[in-house]
Homo-oligomer: A and B are copies of this chain.
């Protein structure tokens, strides 16, 4: 059967933009530091639940059949000419960090819904079903494990593990799913789609530096998150001789400086290291810190180099502990993902769609983690990156992509999904 449907579609950029702004109002707050309007919609809070209900309403208005699984992942399905064919899946997440902008994750979800609206308006029936997914707790900020909903959907983590995770107040994810009404009945293990394509803001400066709007993502670099807790001994700053101190804050600083030395050495490939969380206790001017806590975020596009960097850090921690009797360190693994290469065939489909829309593009690696890296074990997967302003700042109210950049990214998504959904 030869399809009479078009091979390229263009979305309604204004409508897409309006939906991004409307969703950003849910959880919107006045950010004191930037003077801007920010978004705070942590996973499975009341605010996130309000956002979920709004997006489900938009899905239903677009004619999608909505199902919710036992992780609270939401799927909206547009039926295809062959309902038995594996669907083409798109989507992302709508939960946010505590100081977020309007675009991270939301662009992929609302972009997917916009593609469905355009397919409806154009009267296009694709061969395969098209589904739009919203994955629970992608950020990992509330329950400590990122890409959580997609990781359970893809079978990497178990439902029991995820449900038992707790937030800072001791509330379990399972309990919060029930409380917010998003403990769905659908099987959490996702049947393998035909393909998964996720549109997302870059969250980095590379597209802007290269003067292009579209990035074809080649894969996601490996991520390692560890939490280090250091136990020393509180002591008065004035009366305790230096040789009698066990300073947990000093040990934390030594770890941070050493991490930077590992990066600067160039011996661990394209390693990036960040200590974003750092606290000391009791946090008083004239008390030597008794305890310090920090997180170490390592990124590397090479799993072997990542393992070497982790071992170098572990060796430093052992030496630090041995060097100071009374000092003790505990390390907790928060997250670990390997390098995930994306499907080369899909990357070609995306690049061709960008060309057909007259949009310049480059290939690049993702520095951030995304739901796509989880779904990649189920089916051919790739991502489309949209350029951000201000060095691609993200997880910040200054996060911004222009209406044109968003529309162009979702144009590429639309044509890509259309072509994939008509594949045999």
A: residues with CB less than 8 A from B are 33, 97-99, 140-141, 202-206, 221, 223, 225, 233-242, 244, 247, 249-250, 252-257, 260, 263-264, 272, 274-290, 295, 297, 299, 334, 366-369, 391-396
Would B275 and A297 count as touching, CB distance under 8 A?
no
Would B297 and A285 count as touching, CB distance under 8 A?
yes
Would A395 and B295 count as touching, CB distance under 8 A?
no
Q: How far is the CA of A346 from the CA of B64 in the complex (A)?
A: 89
Would B263 and A288 count as touching, CB distance under 8 A?
no
CB distance from A175 to the nearest CB of B (A): 23
CB distance from A169 to the nearest CB of B (A): 16
> What are 25 pairs between A and B in contact, CB < 8 Å?
A97-B287, A99-B282, A140-B285, A204-B236, A204-B238, A204-B241, A205-B244, A206-B239, A225-B286, A237-B272, A238-B297, A239-B367, A240-B367, A242-B272, A249-B275, A253-B254, A254-B257, A274-B285, A276-B280, A276-B289, A277-B284, A279-B283, A286-B368, A287-B395, A287-B396
Would A276 and B257 count as touching, CB distance under 8 A?
no
Which residues of the partner chain B approach A252 to less than 8 Å between Cβ atoms? 253, 278
Would A285 and B278 count as touching, CB distance under 8 A?
no
Which residues of the partner chain B approach A263 to less than 8 Å between Cβ atoms? 242
Would A285 and B334 count as touching, CB distance under 8 A?
yes
Given known contacts A237-B274, A254-B257, A284 and B366 CB-to-CB distance under 8 angstroms = no
Would B274 and A283 count as touching, CB distance under 8 A?
no
CB distance from A68 to the nearest CB of B (A): 28
Question: Nearest residue in B to A281 (C-beta to C-beta)?
Answer: B33
Which residues of the partner chain B approach A290 to less than 8 Å between Cβ atoms? 33
Would A395 and B284 count as touching, CB distance under 8 A?
yes
Q: How far is the CA of A287 from the CA of B223 in the complex (A)?
A: 14
Would B283 and A277 count as touching, CB distance under 8 A?
yes
Q: How far is the CA of A282 from the CA of B205 in the complex (A)?
A: 20
Which residues of the partner chain B approach A392 to less than 8 Å between Cβ atoms? 236, 239-240
Would A221 and B238 count as touching, CB distance under 8 A?
yes
Q: How far is the CA of A202 from the CA of B249 in the complex (A)?
A: 24
Would A391 and B203 count as touching, CB distance under 8 A?
no
Question: Nearest residue in B to A295 (C-beta to C-beta)?
Answer: B285
Would B240 and A205 count as touching, CB distance under 8 A?
yes
Q: How far is the CA of A253 from the CA of B276 in the complex (A)?
A: 12
Would B237 and A297 count as touching, CB distance under 8 A?
yes
Would B274 and A277 count as touching, CB distance under 8 A?
no
Would B238 and A366 count as touching, CB distance under 8 A?
yes
CB distance from A140 to the nearest CB of B (A): 8
Given known contacts A284-B98, A367-B240, A393 and B297 CB-to-CB distance under 8 angstroms = no
Would B286 and A274 count as touching, CB distance under 8 A?
yes
Q: How far is the CA of A140 from the CA of B287 in the complex (A)?
A: 13
Which residues of the partner chain B approach A97 to less than 8 Å between Cβ atoms? 284, 287
Cβ contact of A285, chosen from B233, B257, B277, cutoff 8 A: B277
